[in-house]
A and B are shown apart, each in its own frame.
Chain A
């Protein structure tokens, strides 16, 4: 991940539900009570970059507590994981988070989730095969996968568009790559007939 990678920066801005473990003065405005100190046990959504730092750092106190503890964001919650286990293709990941996989890999770095990794891996490859199928079928020049199926010879109608709309950023990049390959192939096939 490069320093200038815009997707990585946007992933860092995803909100994580965190619970403060300490009373912190002058941070009350985070909980809409500007005059009070922020109480221990308050739940606040923090961006990933901040939450990560607060989770890793400890307060240096005698009990070695960390500033905050975090829960998995809703995008990686139990509901979503169960749905992914059932059928990876049926879940519109973009509705959960536009940077679903980026967020998920970050969270796996922080937490000790054994199961999440294998579920994600299976999800990614199953959906990748589906993406490749759609990328080959979307025809025409420069449609860029915005749901135009003029060159399609399979009856991909609403279902295909629905699926493509649910792709997160990683998958969109993958779609782009697969589509570029298929498009270059088509263009070459046409060029060979001309000369």
Chain B
């Protein structure tokens, strides 16, 4: 292979993308709005919360200029619920991804508003990094696309903001990783099951898990395809023969080459 780079995104690339996720911070100092390529950051006024990209939040956190409010799904109770759901309730499927493009307003249950929608009728379609899946207003009990990267970054750099139970969170995350890795392995077996058509659902799988298992899953798909290839060609040939044979049988012999086209044209 000419290019030594693996297919798809590497782990560090995924982690880099995850740094675009918005997280909620409580600033300790005033900071004016910064005009970035991706848009203006909100101005920081000390007691008021603001949503910042993860990279900026971590930078401010390291300089002790802000505290990070952990997203609700990183709370031990939420993680424990997901672990329970993944192991007991749906032992086969990955848990549902976070609801898209909306964010639940916790003060007004049942309402959800677009993050970018500012009321002038302009629809803003948001893809995962901008959905606000990691802000303090994200719903609990779901795992966002970048769950693993964001969780690791927050535990490592903002452990003191997580309410002092870092080791518990770390343990639950470890459980989740193991449970979902086992599901990923089992997905290989469903891939090869007869009548499945070589399809496996990866709904709800996080970016980091995809990066880790991409090579393996593609390898399995490729292998099944190669093994099935010979059987498939044989089956097609047989079907063609059967079609031809049926046409001949009706007329009791050869000699009607023109007619057989009509038979098959149905």
Contact = CB atoms under 8 A, between A and B. Distances in A.
A and B from one complex: yes
Contacts of B218: 177
Contacts of B260: none
Given A109-B230, A132-B184, A192-B15, A184 B10 contact: yes
B223 A128 contact: yes
Interface string A128-159: 11001101100000000000000000000000
B186 A129 contact: yes
A189 interface: yes
Interface residues of A, number: 37
A132 B153 CA distance: 27
How would you classify the secondary structure of chain A's contact residues: helix, strand, loop or mixed?
Answer: helix
Among B11, B15, B191, the most chain A Cβ lie within 10 Å of the Cβ of B11
Interface stretch (A15-23, A78-86, A114-122): A114-122
Contacts of A132: 184-185, 188, 216
Nearest to A187: B11
A41 interface: no
Interface string B1-34: 0000010001110010000000000000000000
Interface residues of B, number: 38
Contacts of A108: 227, 230-231, 234
Given A181-B213, A181-B214, A129 B185 contact: yes
A101 B212 contact: no
Given A135-B216, A185-B212, A192-B15, A124 B234 contact: no
A181 B215 contact: yes
Interface string B120-138: 0000000000000000000
B156 A121 contact: no
Interface in A34-63: none
A122 B223 contact: no
B219 interface: yes
Interface in B164-217: 181, 184-186, 188-189, 191-194, 208, 211-216
A192 B152 contact: yes
Contacts of A173: 219
A174 B223 contact: yes
Given A101-B226, A129-B185, A174-B223, A184 B212 contact: yes
B15 to A, nearest CB: 7
Interface in B211-266: 211-216, 218-220, 223-224, 226-231, 233-234
Contacts, number: 103
Contact of B228 (A121, A174, A185): A121
A129 B156 contact: no
A33 interface: no
B6 A136 contact: no
A124 to B, nearest CB: 5
B223 A188 contact: no
Nearest to B7: A177
B254 to A, nearest CB: 19
A129 B231 contact: no
Interface string A149-192: 00000000000000000000010011001101110110111011
Nearest to B232: A117
Given A108-B230, A174-B220, 11 more contacts: A109-B230, A125-B191, A125-B224, A126-B189, A132-B188, A174-B216, A177-B215, A177-B216, A184-B11, A184-B212, A188-B12
Interface of A: 101, 104-105, 108-109, 112, 114, 117-118, 120-122, 124-126, 128-129, 132-133, 135-136, 170, 173-174, 177-178, 180-182, 184-185, 187-189, 191-193
28 contacts: A105-B226, A105-B229, A108-B231, A109-B230, A112-B234, A121-B194, A121-B224, A121-B228, A124-B223, A128-B188, A128-B192, A128-B216, A129-B186, A132-B184, A132-B216, A170-B223, A174-B216, A174-B219, A174-B223, A177-B216, A177-B218, A177-B219, A178-B215, A180-B6, A181-B212, A184-B10, A184-B11, A189-B152
Interface of B: 6, 10-12, 15, 152-153, 156, 181, 184-186, 188-189, 191-194, 208, 211-216, 218-220, 223-224, 226-231, 233-234
